[in-house]
Amino acid sequence: MARTLLRVPATVTRGEVVEIRTLIQHPMETGFRSGENGRMLSRDIIRRFTCLYNNRPVFEAELHPAIAANPYLTFTLRVDESGILAFTWEGDNGFSQTETRTLTVA
């Protein structure tokens, strides 16, 4: 499992727009770089990131090799109800990881 760091406010007032920040450990090997033996290293990147809020997609991103190693992504969300945020990263070589966080409307 890749290490992730997520910042989601613990409590939110109804209708507030919050910024969500995510960081995941991943080399994002571009496929354009040669390794020690001079041979090209094959591409190994995260290709897709999605965030579901109570099972509804609220943010989706398609990533390319130009995204830096250990991808960092931030986006915003208007919060109308308490619920569960599910973050999923998917990529080359079967990479797939999901993390969840609870958002509570105070």
Partner 1 sequence: MSSPSWPGCVTDRRALIGGLLAVMLVRPTAATPEALEEAILDFTKGTAPQVGGVVLDIPPLVENGNTVPVSVEVESPMTEAEHVRAIGLFNERNPLPHVLTAKLGPWSGEARIGTRIRLSNTQRLVAVAAMSDGSYRFGEAQVIVTLAACVEG
Partner 2 sequence: MRQLAAAALAALTLGAAPRSGFETMTPELQAMQRDDLANPGMLYVADGEALWAQEGCGSCHAVAAMRGVAARYPALDAASQTPIDLTDRIAQCREARQGKPALPPEAAPMLALAAFVAHQSRGMPLQPDAQLEGARRQGEALFRERRGQLNLSCAQCHDDNAGRKLAGSTIPEGHANGYPLYRLEWQGLGSLQRRLRNCIAGVRSEPYPPGAPEYVALEAYLAARARGLVVESPAVRP
Chain positions contacting partner 1, by CB under 8 A? 17, 19, 21, 30, 32-34, 53, 56-69, 71-78
- Radius of gyration, alpha carbons of the chain: 16
Q: Are 64 and 49 in contact (CB under 8 A)?
A: no
Q: Are 42 and 29 in contact (CB under 8 A)?
A: yes
CA–centroid distance for 93 within its chain: 17
Closest contact distance (angstroms) between CB of 37 and partner 1 is 13
Q: Which stretch binds partner 2 (CB under 8 A): 21-29, 54-62, 77-85, 96-104?
A: 21-29
Q: Which residues bind partner 2 (CB under 8 A)?
A: 3-5, 7, 21, 23-25, 27, 68-70, 72
